[in-house]
Structure 1
Amino acid sequence: MTIPVCLGMVLLMSFNLVDTFFISMLGTEPLAAVGFTFPVTFSIISMVIGISIGTSAVLARFIGQGDKEASRHHGTAALYLTVLLVAALSLVTYLVAEPLFALLGAKDIHMPLIMAYMEVWLLGSVFLALPMVGNAVFRANGETKLPSIFMGIGGAINAVLDPLLIFGLGPFPELGIRGAAVASVVSFFIGSLVIIAMLANKYRLIHWFPGSNLPKAFKRILTIAMPAAGANMLTPLAMAVMTAMVAPYGSAAVAAFGVMTRIESIACLVVLSLSMSLPPLISQNHGAGNWHRVREAYMVAVKFVMIWQAAIYLVLLVSAPFIAAAFSQEQEVKETIVLLLFILPLGYGLQGITILSNSSFNAVHQPHSALILSIARFFVFYIPFAYLGSVWFGFEGLFYGGLLGVIITGSVAFVWFRKHLGYHLRVAYE
């Protein structure tokens, strides 16, 4: 199940890097401006990920129990819920955008660039969200190939439109940084139409219109989705705090950190893929009461992630100068990217264990445990350790402190979920 998701993620994340590459050609200030937008845009995406997690967990459990009609009804409800929540959050974000970015440390020179990007992105945010939840419906039913194809096609459209709209090639207008947002919205609008049509017409995994008891379906999904969304929204909140701590070190530091967030999305794409394919398998076996298979799936994923991320670190270490040169021509930015590539990927393996443990808690309908783990991850370990590192050792200490927080969190997450599995296995034996 993971391999097709991984292939789709490779394409999608690669095209996101292409996005960053073309923006970097506009200069350091536009690149820094996009770095400031990431915590805010990812907040909305994190809420959508939470809805996707709730959708997948609820649908997969119904499927494990053999109730496919209930699965279809809740899949439909999830799409309507996505439109309502994303539209509301995007409107609020637009109304407070300028003070929010000023709080993150954006300077006057960055603000027009940030707003040029965000106005378009927020306007089309619903179309960015619908494919994510639609893909969750597919995955809950054990279908991972089609979501991967959709992700790849969406990413390809975005990558093609990027240079055309950013630089105004041929008959296209030169929109600069705004063009990157337009390219994203257009690609996901097309994806929304295709995915919903496939779900409703060809595979009949949803209905075009919701049936009765829609509020009850909303409540069931939100019971898992809201804690999961809260946990996921802590990621951009932590990124916002980190961005604010990086900002005093200058635009080059912010630009390099923004590049690293996109490199991390590629370096951890196998973990992200596993976090999408593992929960439906766990939820279906949870519904069927097969806890031995839940344990086996979790342990295989954990062992693989540790080995895989160690290999990824070695690759990044060797290729760091080439990666830095691809994203900036300024020496200070390049040197900072190389430094961050040496430090941050050291924790990707244990970070992966935290992500898998978090998604596994949601899959067994323990969203509050996942939320507590996420709170501890960022605000007990990661941010405090990063802050202390910066106070004692400056810019490098900021990231070494964060690395230590990641290592501790991963260890706690592994022990905690293993303990939860042990309890259910003892109950099963009794």
Structure 2
Amino acid sequence: MAIGVLALLGFQLVDSAFIARLGTAPLAAQSFTFPLSFLVIGVQVGLGIAIAAMISRTLGAGEQERARRLGLLVLLVGAALIALLVLLLWWVQEPVFARLGADAATRELIRIYWAPQLLAAWLGAALYFGYSLFRAHGDTRLPGKLMVITSLVNLTLDPLLIFGIGPWDGLGLPGAAWATVIAFSCGLLVLGRRLLRTDWLARDGIAAELRHSARPFAGIAGPAMVSQLMPPLAAMLAISVVADLGDTSVAAWGLASRLETVSLMVVLAMTMSLPPWLGRCYGAGDWDQVHRLMRLALKVVVFWQLGLGLVMAATASWVALVLSGNPEVRDELATLIRFLLPSYALLGVCMLVVSAGNALGWPLRAMLLSCARLFLFYLPCLWLGAQWGSLTGLALGAAVGNLLAGLAAWRMLRRILDRPQRRSRCREGPGPHRPISGGRCNRPN
């Protein structure tokens, strides 16, 4: 999954790097779309969390037939919800981008890019739901391979569609979105063929399963989506602060946002691959294994992200040189890298705790932690930093917010998992959130 996430997020960073060669205005236009793109991603990830959690718990409890019904149901519901969201975002684009600070010329650039980008977002969401189904059944290899394949297709098409070839001038900014549309379409074709060869989907009893599972699914998906929707909302508020510093700062912030997701590849891979395993342990009531898994995961996150952050901070000037040809954008991007990248060690801790919470039966706590990370720590520190010292102060404030969020997540996780009653409940017999007879907690194949 780490390899797949690196490939998937890497091509998004490559998109921005190619667009940066078109000039500051197209890059700023793309950067203004990030908050709304993250909104779609937030909903899709929240639904994906619920898909993986419910199906893995059902498999852990030995209910194979119900897992098959859930498989088809969640794919259909998820695709329909994302389609409605995409149509809404197309309808409200003009007032939203104006409110974010985009001027008339920038909004004109956004308009020709936004339609194919929303189509790519819907295709990517449908592909992600398929990935979630495979992960719930313990197969992380196919999602990882498809992430690599779609990234390579996108990487090949990006320069051709953006800049053209021979006498053809290319599409410019919209070319990046159309490259993603083609790449995700190829991934969906492969995923659909593989799904048809499995026995993970069942049409019989779908209506009854919908009535039976709607409430528990919403109980997981609702808080998970709220948790995932907080970052796009925070991103909108953050970019409105950055917009006051000018287009150069917006462009640098957009590149830094892409670099952030790539640098968090291991964390993101663990938030996708660990919850299905935790869900099976939850279904079987094996809390000792939960403790061992979380301790190991947190050690990996802290050591990996801190080491990577320090290396990136030391080489910030060279990284910025690769990503941007504009000297002003390059200097501001280097400043953001030096402050932000090391702070992702504790940001990763917070992300992992939120992801685990949705799999372990405390989605409301996970949602509250996600809200606190952004609106109690990150945004206030970001705003105070911007008031204190322009872009440098903004970068320092964002880093402090990440550090405070990570410490709060660590404290909450220790308080929850160290409670003796968490283990004693697992010995009380069948019941809500207790092991079901015949359930097994084993590592997915």
TM-score per shorter chain, which class?
over 0.9
Q: Structure 2 CA distance, aligned partners of 1:54 and 1:171?
A: 49
Which aligned pairs between 1:303-382 and structure 2 lie closer than 5 A? Answer: 303-382=299-378
What's the counterpart of residue 100 of structure 1? 96
Tell me whether 1:138 sits opposite 2:134 in the alignment: yes
Give 2:303's aligned amino acid. Answer: I
Segment drifting more, 220-229 vs 41-50 = 220-229
What's the counterpart of residue 251 of structure 1? 247
The partner residue of 1:417 within 413, 416, 425 is 413
Tell me whether 1:72 sits opposite 2:68 in the alignment: yes
Deviations 1:277-325 (A, max 9, x none): 1111111001000001011101111011111111101221232112111
Deviations 1:322-378 (A, max 9, x none): 211122222211110110011001210100000000001000122111111111111
Confirm or deny: 8 A CA contact 1:76 1:209 kept in the other structure. no
- State the secondary structure of the residue aligned to 2:244: helix
Q: Structure 2 CA distance, aligned partners of 1:218 and 1:175?
A: 43
Q: Structure 2 CA distance, aligned partners of 1:61 and 1:44?
A: 26
Deviations 1:27-50 (A, max 9, x none): 111111111111111100110000
Quote how far apart the aligned CAs of 1:395 are. Answer: 2.4
Quote how far apart the aligned CAs of 1:172 are. Answer: 6.5
Q: Structure 1 CA distance, aligned partners of 2:241 and 2:5?
A: 30
Over aligned residues, Cα RMSD in angstroms?
1.7
What's the counterpart of residue 266 of structure 2? 270
Q: Structure 1 CA distance, aligned partners of 2:230 and 2:204?
A: 33
Quote how far apart the aligned CAs of 1:398 are. Answer: 1.8
- State the secondary structure of the residue aligned to 2:152: helix
- State the secondary structure of the residue aligned to 1:109: helix
Confirm or deny: 8 A CA contact 1:120 1:181 kept in the other structure. yes
Percentage of pairs with the same residue: 36
What's the counterpart of residue 402 of structure 1? 398
The partner residue of 2:197 within 187, 202, 205 is 202
Q: Structure 1 CA distance, aligned partners of 2:348 and 2:4?
A: 19
The partner residue of 2:228 within 232, 247, 255 is 232
Normalised TM-score (structure 2): 0.92
What's the counterpart of residue 431 of structure 2? none
What's the counterpart of residue 7 of structure 1? 3
Confirm or deny: 8 A CA contact 1:35 1:254 kept in the other structure. yes
Confirm or deny: 8 A CA contact 2:69 2:204 kept in the other structure. no
Confirm or deny: 8 A CA contact 2:314 2:338 kept in the other structure. no
Quote how far apart the aligned CAs of 1:207 are. Answer: 3.7
Deviations 1:96-145 (A, max 9, x none): 10110111111222111111111112234321111101101111111111
Normalised TM-score (structure 1): 0.95
Give 1:174's aligned amino acid. Answer: G
- State the secondary structure of the residue aligned to 1:204: coil
Deviations 1:130-179 (A, max 9, x none): 11011011111111111101111111111111111111225867211111
Segment drifting more, 413-422 vs 288-297 = 413-422
Give 1:45's aligned amino acid. Answer: I
Q: Structure 2 CA distance, aligned partners of 1:58 and 1:429?
A: 22
Quote how far apart the aligned CAs of 1:192 are. Answer: 1.8
Aligned length: 425
Distance 1:171 1:197, change over 3 A: farther
Which aligned pairs between 1:108-187 and structure 2 lie closer than 5 A? Answer: 108-169=104-165, 174-187=170-183
Confirm or deny: 8 A CA contact 2:227 2:367 kept in the other structure. yes
Quote how far apart the aligned CAs of 1:14 are. Answer: 1.8
Confirm or deny: 8 A CA contact 2:308 2:342 kept in the other structure. no
Confirm or deny: 8 A CA contact 2:357 2:366 kept in the other structure. yes
Confirm or deny: 8 A CA contact 2:154 2:183 kept in the other structure. yes
What's the counterpart of residue 39 of structure 1? 35
Confirm or deny: 8 A CA contact 1:78 1:221 kept in the other structure. no
Q: Structure 2 CA distance, aligned partners of 1:143 and 1:83?
A: 21
Tell me whether 1:85 sits opposite 2:78 in the alignment: no
Q: Which segments of 5 or more consecutive residues in structure 1 lack a partner in the other structure?
A: none
Give 1:425's aligned amino acid. Answer: R
- State the secondary structure of the residue aligned to 1:110: helix
Q: Structure 2 CA distance, aligned partners of 1:198 and 1:170?
A: 38
Q: Structure 2 CA distance, aligned partners of 1:7 and 1:170?
A: 34
Segment drifting more, 245-254 vs 184-193 = 184-193
Distance 1:126 1:217, change over 3 A: farther
What's the counterpart of residue 389 of structure 1? 385
- State the secondary structure of the residue aligned to 2:207: coil
What's the counterpart of residue 211 of structure 1? 206
Q: Which segments of 5 or more consecutive residues in structure 2 lack a partner in the other structure?
A: 429-445
- State the secondary structure of the residue aligned to 1:249: coil
Give 2:235's aligned amino acid. Answer: M
- State the secondary structure of the residue aligned to 1:383: helix
What's the counterpart of residue 434 of structure 2? none
Distance 1:173 1:330, change over 3 A: closer
Confirm or deny: 8 A CA contact 1:39 1:236 kept in the other structure. yes
Confirm or deny: 8 A CA contact 1:252 1:333 kept in the other structure. yes
